[in-house]
Amino acid sequence: MIVILKANLDGKSPEYAQIIDYLAHKPNIRTRVHQEIGTQQTLTEIYLIGDTASLDKTEIESLPGVDRVVRVSEEYRILGRHKDDSRPSGFEYNGVKFSQDNLNVFAGLCAVDTPEHVELMLKALRDNGQVCTRMGAYKPRTNPYSFQGHGKDCLPWVFELAGKYGIKVIAMEITHDSHLDEIQEALRKTGNPTGVMLQIGTRNTQNFELLKIVGRQREFPVLLKRGFGITLEESLNAAEYLASAGNRNIVFGLRGMKTNMGDPHRNFVDFAHVPVVKRLTRMPVCIDPSHSVGTRDASPDGLLDVFHVTAQGVIAGANMILVDFHPAPAKALVDGPQALLLEELPYFLEDVAIARAAYEKRRELAKRFLAKK
Ligand code: PEP
Ligand code: MN
């Protein structure tokens, strides 16, 4: 059960004390307080854990200072979409809004390689009106002899270049908690020219200790990729780990599932789950067409499979696209074969806009149909 307090209710007010006192007298109930401090208001939620079935929802709602009470099902207590749960979804980070209603494109390099390539990529993004990108500094590789990413050494110049080209958010994978410290330090030393969304990759979806550490910090939002060999429920519970540790600014990423059934794609594309994740939780949903498809193969209609699956995810309501580009894919140190070319960026964005407009039309159509019922 979640007790949602009136906005800006002071923790030292008599109303707050009365609520806490009321709950303290209920047997077998533990409480956990969560605060979201926004620019406009501070929202406080009290999570009740234990024998909540015996509690009287209406009685709690009548306490001064309580806005409303939501009964949560066992699943995804914090991130889940519960009955009569009208809490807003999404968040804002460094001036960029993330929600289940909008769409952000994160085109960029799978892995940072040279300053020249990074700068060419960022310039192309700026020239095409983009303020987000993806750039991997820490790369989890299947083969220990493969390039592992430049790590912390590249962070200062990557951040400075991102700032130079007006990039507000870089999705950057971390595989160890020390990477979080390194990112924080590099941002501080360079004067915060940009922002970072910490990415937890598919190989770390169930790295619970990493999830707890990343969840305990609230400076950076998190993109959690779905585990490629576990159930959706297990991956959503991994997201709940982040939230239960304190950070709810989470985007959930679909990136395809590992099975030969998906051949000839690198992974079996799972974007049919975009609306499912939006129904089960309040997280914005990201799609990663590059790691799903893994090639630049095209169909007879002239469209690359990466374009096709992107459109499939977007027309189903995806809220973020993580997509690999490279100025010279043959020279890329990671995932060159799936990278789109810089000259394809405006074409890709236009194709995305077509699919997004179609989704918005479909949403309006559904609204009209439901209003008649
Ligand atoms: C990536 O986005 O670079 C990546 C490694 O993704 P995933 O964890 O989905 O394989
Ligand atoms: Mn990659």
Q: What is the pLDDT of residues 263-315, one digit of tens each?
A: 999 999 999 999 999 999 999 999 999 999 999 999 999 999 999 999 999 99
pLDDT of residue 308: 98
* pLDDT of amino acid 89: 80
User: Which residue's CA is the closest to the ligand 1 atom numbered 10?
Assistant: 202
Ligand 1 centroid, distance to 62 Cα (angstroms) = 48
Give the confidence band of 40 by pLDDT, cuts at 50, 70, 90. confident
Residues at CB less than 6 angstroms from ligand 1? 110, 136, 173, 201-203, 225, 255, 288, 291
Q: Which residue has its alpha carbon closest to ligand 1 atom 4? A: 201
Q: Of ligand 1's atoms, which has the minimum distance to the CA of residue 226?
A: 9
pLDDT score for 202 = 98
Q: Quick one: pLDDT band at residue 84, thresholds 50, 70, 90?
A: confident
Give residue 290 CA to ligand 1 midpoint distance, Å.
9
Give, in order, the Cα–Cα distances in Å from 369 to each of 84, 275, 315, 360. Answer: 22, 18, 18, 14
Ligand 1 mutation pick, 106, 110, 324, max ligand atoms within 8 A of CB: 110
Looking at residue 39, its pLDDT comes to 80
The pLDDT, as a whole number, for residue 246 is: 94
Which residue lies with its CA nearest to atom 5 of ligand 1?
201
pLDDT, tens only, 49-61: 988 989 999 999 9
pLDDT of 88 over the 80 cut: no
Ligand 1 mean position to 200 CA, how many Å? 8
Ligand 1 pocket test, candidate residues 141, 170, 199, 326, most atoms within 8 A of CB: 199
Of 293, 280, 299, 361, nearest in space to 321 by CA: 293
pLDDT bucket at 72, cuts 50 / 70 / 90: confident
Per-residue pLDDT at 216: 97
Kindly report the protein residue whose alpha carbon is nearest to atom 9 of ligand 1: 202
Residue nearest atom 8 in ligand 1 by C-alpha distance: 201
**Residue type at 227 in one-letter notation:** G
Q: Are 276 and 246 in contact (CB under 8 A)?
A: no
Residue 257, both tokens: 């599932």
pLDDT band at 87 (very low <50, low <70, confident <90, very high): confident
Q: Could you write out the three-class secondary structure of the chain?
A: CEEEECCCCCCCCHHHHHHHHHHHCCCCEEEEEEEEECCCCEEEEEEEEECHHHCCHHHHHCCCCEEEEECCCCCCCCCECCCCCCCCCCEEECCEEECCCCCEEEEEECCCCCHHHHHHHHHHHHHCCCCEEEECCCCCCCCCCCCCCCHHHHHHHHHHHHHHCCCCEEEEECCCHHHHHHHHHHHHHCCCCCEEEEEECHHHCCCHHHHHHHHHCCCCCEEEECCCCCCHHHHHHHHHHHHHHCCCCEEEEECCECCHHHCCCCCECCHHHHHHHHHHECCCEEECHHHHHCCCCECCCCCEHHHHHHHHHHHCCCCEEEEEECCCHHHCCCCHHHCECHHHHHHHHHHHHHHHHHHHHHHHHHHHHHHHC
- Cα of 284 vs centre of ligand 1, distance in Å, is 18
Mean pLDDT, rounded, for 108-127: 98
Sign of the Cα pseudo-torsion (37, 40, 41, 43, in order): negative
- Residue 291: how many other CB atoms lie within 10 Å: 23
Averaged pLDDT, 340-345: 98
Q: What is the mean pLDDT of the chain?
A: 96
Atom of ligand 1 nearest to the CA of 290: 2
| Residue 75 pLDDT | 85
Query: How many angstroms separate the CA atoms of 148 and 154, rounded?
Result: 13
Reading the block at residue 201, the tokens are 């990759």
Ligand 1: residue of 252, 291, 323 to mutate (most ligand atoms within 8 A of CB) is 291
Q: Ligand 1 atom closest to Cα of 255? A: 9
Whose tokens are 């949403």? That residue is 363
CA of 202 to the centre of ligand 1 (A): 6
CA of 140, closest atom in ligand 1: 5
Question: How large is the average pLDDT for residues 30-50?
Answer: 89
CA of 203, closest atom in ligand 1? 8
Q: What is the pLDDT of residues 175-217, one digit of tens each?
A: 999 999 999 999 999 999 999 999 999 999 999 999 999 999 9
Q: Which atom of ligand 1 is nearest to the CA of 334?
A: 3
Looking at ligand 1, which atom is closest to the CA of residue 171?
2
Q: What percent of the chain has pLDDT over 70?
A: 100
Report angle CA 203, 209, 212 to the nearest 5 degrees: 110
Confidence band of 151 (pLDDT split at 50, 70, 90): very high
Supply the residue whose CA is at minimum distance from atom 6 of ligand 1.
201
